[in-house]
Amino acid sequence: MSRQSNRATDSKKMNSELFTLTYGALVTQLCKDYENDEEVNKQLDKMGYNIGVRLIEDFLARSSIGRCQDFRETADVIAKVAFKMYLGITPSVTNWSPAGDEFSLILESNPLVDFVELPDNHSTLIYSNLLCGILRGALEMVQMAVDVRFAQDTLRGDNVTEIRMRFIKRIEENIPAGDE
Amino acid sequence: MADEVLFEFLHMEIVSHVYKEQQANKGEMDSKERGQCISVLESMGFRVGQGIIERLTRDSPSFKDELDIMKFICKDFWTKVFRRQVDNLRTNHQGTYVLQDNKFSLLTQLSNGKQYLDQAPKYLAFSCGIVRGALSNLGLESVVTAEVSIMPSCKFQVVIQKL
């Protein structure tokens, strides 16, 4: 392998390796703690949700993006700004439903799965399920209820990784009692 | 790219998860259960440390001696993992080293002083494991502990185990 990469690229790669390796250690630990893949998937989603509800604040502070006008704009912001900012990749937004309430994010590469192989006895594990939880939690904090799931996964033999996002409804802000 | 933030959020959520799981059955955790949580976090860090040091030292020449390794940990390794160098390294030249980081990256978000001091150990276990894992893959078995008296300054104590 050539040694042409300069220090800047090296340090960026290294930081994402820290995240990737830590994530791997987490999934391994969860597989040890829980008996079946379904339970691990649920835990990853829950943990992702907890991260997402905090990450959105960090995202809004860093990106100073205003309120999105519609779901299409939301999709673009997620793919072109958020993913780029935190994972260094820009998925493409495709497969819009006719009603405009559902779309796919296609990830050519997924940094979470660098160095990862799924063993045969974990064929139903959704390794990157943390991402679904993060997206769900983050969007809930900006008043959007969404359903997020993996439609394709390179770890399970597909060519690309595809995340399907569906808009469920707008969450009404709860006005505390006593306010007009 | 802001992925350091992503790692920090992930780390905090992992700590929170490990403690929640242990606490699932009872109200208050006893010290044995707390110890178990710390162990789980430390062993997760160990695997990560092993992986990181492998990637980091792929093309490096071998180290001259133990002190050389510790200096590498304080400079290159600390920079890659915690985004700064260790501020102070002390040793008794008999296998014990104290690495002092005055602005430890995993503590800066918690507090600046004495607040949450009792929570600090939870957030240091993983990092202790990372250091122990890195040293292990460099051929040094060690015991790594951390102590904090004022956040976010932190001292890691490394005791190399002689075979």
- The ipTM is 0.92
Lowest mean pLDDT among A72-76, A148-152, B110-114: B110-114
Query: What CATH number does the domain containing B40 carry?
Result: 3.30.1380.20
pLDDT of residue B113: 85
Interval B113-137 mean pLDDT:
93
How much is the pLDDT for B114?
A: 86
Q: Which residue of A has its CA nearest to B47?
A: A25
Can you tell me which residue has the tokens 């040890």?
A32
Q: How many CB pairs under 8 A join A and B?
A: 87
Q: Is the pLDDT of residue A6 over 50?
A: no
Token readout for B26 is 């009872």
At residue A8 the predicted structure's pLDDT band, cuts being 50, 70 and 90, is very low
Contact B2 A58 (CB under 8 A): yes
Q: DSSP 3-state assignment of A75?
A: helix
Q: How many domains does chain B have?
A: 1
What local confidence, expressed as pLDDT, does residue B103 receive?
94
| Interface contact A53, partner B, CB < 8 A | no
Nearest beta carbon to residue B52 from set A18, A62, A130 = A18
Q: Is the pLDDT of residue B102 over 90?
A: yes
Residue A75 has pLDDT above 70, yes or no: yes
Q: Rounded to whole angstroms, how far apart are CA atoms A42 and B72?
A: 40
Q: B44 vs A47: CB contact, 8 Å cut-off?
A: no
Q: Tell me the pTM.
A: 0.90
What would the pLDDT profile of B14-28 be if each residue is shown by its tens digit? 999 999 887 766 667
Average pLDDT over residues A113-134: 92
A72 interfaces chain B, CB cutoff of 8 Å: no
Contact call for B1 and A86, based on CB within 8 A: yes
Pick from B13, B21, B47: CB nearest A51: B13
Determine the structural domain holding residue B87 and report its residue range.
2-160
Write out the DSSP string of A21-48: HHHHHHHHHHHHHSSSHHHHHHHHHHHH
User: A95-99, B28-32, B73-77: which range is least confident on average?
Assistant: B28-32
The Cα A150–Cα A128 span in angstroms is 9
